[in-house]
């Protein structure tokens, strides 16, 4: 049975690599992006390789935008089987001095937006008896090595969201988090040693877990790790 995956922040970097990889698995991929025009290259790549995809205009930091985007899927007959919460921002260096508006934007983008999507989609997944949700976290979300600015605390919040929602998700729904490592993206910078495609491997692994696979867990390179790793 062909599955449909929604990938947020899929216009570049890790999100684009995940979208391409899932399409290569035969899935229909919905690219959740703030500006669909920015996803044209990814869409063209997927379709050139014989994959199926569509764009979805959505800003995960805006609850009204998320609601409208998901509502627009219903007339298309699109049911989301797999959710990849990838979209994120990195604001500031020192939490003590970062503007509070930037903190709140980080909270909305990196934690509350993913939670809203889980709240909207997980119950429907449970009704159908199948769902896979992957939250893109970070080593900087560990309480022993929190990252800069608001990024670290919001990734720690995303980790907590993963554990709590996994325990509440219901039959057939698996919710896990992953650490992509230091990746060569616009956020990670050109000095990063890993490519987006390497990070995408773990996302695909978690998106295609078997029925007896884990939930409420944390992974790096397709291997389960501790929340403080």
Q: Which residues are catalytic?
A: 151
- What's the CA dihedral at 44, 183, 9, 18 to 10 degrees? 50
Please say whether the beta carbons of 91 and 100 come within 8 A: no
Residue 36: count other Cβ atoms within 10 Å of its Cβ. 16
Which tokens in the block code for residue 173?
């729904």
């Amino acid at each position: 049975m062909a599955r449909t995956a929604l990938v947020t922040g899929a216009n570049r970097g890790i999100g684009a690599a995940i979208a391409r990889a899932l399409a290569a698995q035969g899935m229909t991929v919905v690219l959740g992006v703030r500006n669909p025009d920015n996803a044209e290259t990814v869409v063209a790549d997927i379709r050139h390789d014989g994959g199926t995809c569509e764009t979805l205009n959505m800003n995960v930091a805006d609850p009204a935008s998320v609601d409208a985007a998901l509502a627009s899927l219903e007339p298309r007959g699109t049911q989301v089987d797999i959710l990849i919460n990838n979209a994120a921002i990195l604001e500031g260096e020192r939490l003590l001095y970062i503007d509070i508006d930037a903190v709140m934007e980080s909270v909305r983008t990196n934690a509350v937006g993913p939670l809203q999507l889980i709240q909207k989609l997980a119950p429907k997944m449970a009704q159908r008896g199948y769902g896979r949700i992957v939250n893109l976290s970070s080593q900087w979300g560990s309480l022993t090595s929190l990252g800069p600015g608001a990024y670290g605390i919001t990734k720690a919040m995303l980790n907590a969201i993963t554990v709590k929602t996994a325990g509440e998700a219901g039959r057939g729904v698996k919710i896990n988090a992953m650490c992509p490592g230091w990746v060569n993206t616009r956020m990670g910078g050109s000095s990063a040693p890993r490519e987006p495609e390497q990070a995408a491997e773990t996302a695909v692994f978690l998106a295609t877990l078997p029925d007896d696979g884990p939930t409420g867990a944390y992974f790096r390179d397709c291997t389960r790790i501790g929340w403080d790793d």
